[in-house]
Structure 1
Amino acid sequence: TSGDPTVTREISGLIFENKIELIDAPVSGGPRGAREGTIAIMVGGSHAQFERVKNVLSYISHNIIHAGPLGSGHSIKLGNNLLNLICRMGTLEVISMLVREGVAPDMAVDIIQKSSGRNYATEITLPDNILSGKMNQGFSTAMMEKDSSLALKIGAKHELNMALGKVAQTILERTIAKYGLDADMSAVASLFESETGAQIRP
């Protein structure tokens, strides 16, 4: 559901000539959020447009947010996914270090989740998909690479360094080189295992 906000605005300008209006409404929350009807829907468009589509979108989820003008939904979705990638890489780096230090991975995740370092990776990704051995998050490396690249493109447009994002992207590229574009994002854990010698999965 993610897209380039610049392209979204360009398309809107083209179709507006034919009296067709466009909003962007990407979602986030993963398969669990979709199943439970709690997935976040980030709507980009005017307030009037948001009010017109809100009831329709409520059939998908009641967690509907007016993100701002057209393109804002896509911008926030891309920023969110880049932040998710940064947190995931940082978490796996620390878990790998702790495993090498002799701490059990499930114990490390459990304690971090109850501490100031908690994030989506410690709450959902690691317990549900990696420590469980399922390795099936339902989100491919290709999809993440598309989103993180677009987010970094936005940063470049504003002449921002985006240092953390670039480091996370480099690790993602190593994952893709080793496991392919069709690999589940859980494969990042396999990359850390192969590069650090830490056994994270059961």
Structure 2
Amino acid sequence: MSATLFLGLGRMGAPMARLHAAAFATRVFDVFPAAAEAVAADSAAEALSDLADIGDDVASVILMLPTSHHVEEVLRGNAGLLARLPRGALVIDMGSSEPASTRTLAAEAAALGIDYVDAPVSGGIAKAETGSLTVMVGGTADAVARAMPHVRTVGSSIVHVGPAGAGHAAKALNNLVSATNIAAATEAVTVAKHFGIEPAAMVEVLNASTGMSQATRVKFPDHILPGTYASRFAYDLMLKDMGIARRMADEVGYAPVTGAAFDALSSGRVGLGDDPDHTEIARVYAQATGISIDEGTAA
């Protein structure tokens, strides 16, 4: 029986690997060996300490890595997985990568007889733990069909959005809209407070009106208004995805909202300290205006 190699066991990757291991023979690897051992300890996965020892029966690889640089290093660099996989193997990149890099890697894989699918996810850690993520899939129809049994172990809403790289493009654009929604709502609530409207009341108005978004329904009541800022999705990862979206938008030639949002949130990152949560967009506004909209900070 063939096995799957699952690389990248961070906050999202670890629960995804556990679910995958319940359905498929799975070997897990992370640059931090303890992460692989932890996943193997409470799942059916087998922990690897060295990528040189993946075994001859690995026919599919799932990547949940931070950036395209990490993906390229694993596939082309010292690990050289592309060159070591057999013809007919399958690679699924479920992280947030650069679409251009993905298209190039997919072409290199195809030349070796390997199917390549990009399948980034959205939904956060809670949905990663329950296997109910949204997955945006890019690749040929045949490659996507082969990937679907693996993808279904972690996702409940799966959309084939186009050819190689399209999944990563869709993910970056989704996160651009998500971040911009938080910023726009924070801006509105900040201005509302200046005019005497309590933040919770303004959020209630938005949620009962056309200004409603996932930001106002979930992130404001759960993370921003209480001042907890604990969504567990990093501000820096948000900026990375917004940067990908901005580079894509630059090719179109007119995307003023994208540029303004990325520039404002990039410059605002300076005052947030180490490893801020992406919902701390609200703190960027508080530092710039002196008006706090959360319960944990003085007005």
- Shorter chain as denominator, the TM-score bin is over 0.9
Q: Which has the higher contact order (CA 8 A, sep 6+)?
A: 1
1:115 aligns with 2:202: no
Cα separation, 2, equivalents of 1:54 and 1:15: 18
Residue identity in the other structure for 2:179: L
Counterpart pick for 1:91 among 163, 185, 198:
185
User: Given the two structures, how large is their TM-score scaled by the length of structure 2?
Assistant: 0.64
Q: 1:70 and 2:168 equivalent?
A: no
Q: Which residue of 2 aligns with 1:183?
A: 276
Measure how far apart 1:38 and its partner are: 2.5
The answer as to whether partners of 2:99 and 2:165 remain within 8 angstroms in 1 is yes
- 5+ residue gaps, structure 2, are 1-94
Partner of 2:140: 46
User: Residue type matched to 1:172 in 2?
Assistant: L
Please tell me whether residue 165 in structure 1 is matched to residue 165 in structure 2: no
Aligned position for 2:29: none
Q: Larger Cα Rg: Structure 1 or Structure 2?
A: 2
Q: Distance in 1 between matches of 2:106 and 2:268?
A: 36
Equivalent residues in 2 for 1:15-30, closer than 5 Å: 15-30=109-124
- Report the count of equivalent residues: 201
2:35: which partner in 1? none
Point out the structure with the larger strand share: 2
**Deviation (angstroms), 1:180:** 4.2
Pairing 1:138–2:197 present: no
| One-letter amino acid of the counterpart of residue 33, structure 1 | K
Structure 1 vs Structure 2 CA RMSD: 1.5
Q: Are positions 1:100 and 2:100 aligned together?
A: no
Structure with greater proportional helix content: 1
Offset at residue 161 of structure 1 (A): 2.0
Single out whichever of 51-60 and 147-156 deviates more from structure 2: 51-60
Q: TM-score, normalised by structure 1?
A: 0.93
What is the deviation of 1:75? 0.6
Matched, 1:33 2:127: yes
Q: Distance in 2 between matches of 1:114 and 1:37?
A: 30
1:124 and 2:218 correspond: yes
> Runs of 4+ in structure 1 displaced over 6 angstroms?
none
How far apart in 2 are the matches of 1:38 and 1:117?
A: 26
- Seq. identity, %: 28
Confirm or deny: 8 A CA contact 1:41 1:61 kept in the other structure. yes
Q: Distance in 1 between matches of 2:204 and 2:283?
A: 20
> SS of the counterpart of 1:186?
helix
Contact kept, 8 Å, 1:139 with 1:185, in 2: the verdict is yes
In structure 1, give the amino acid aligned to 2:203.
V
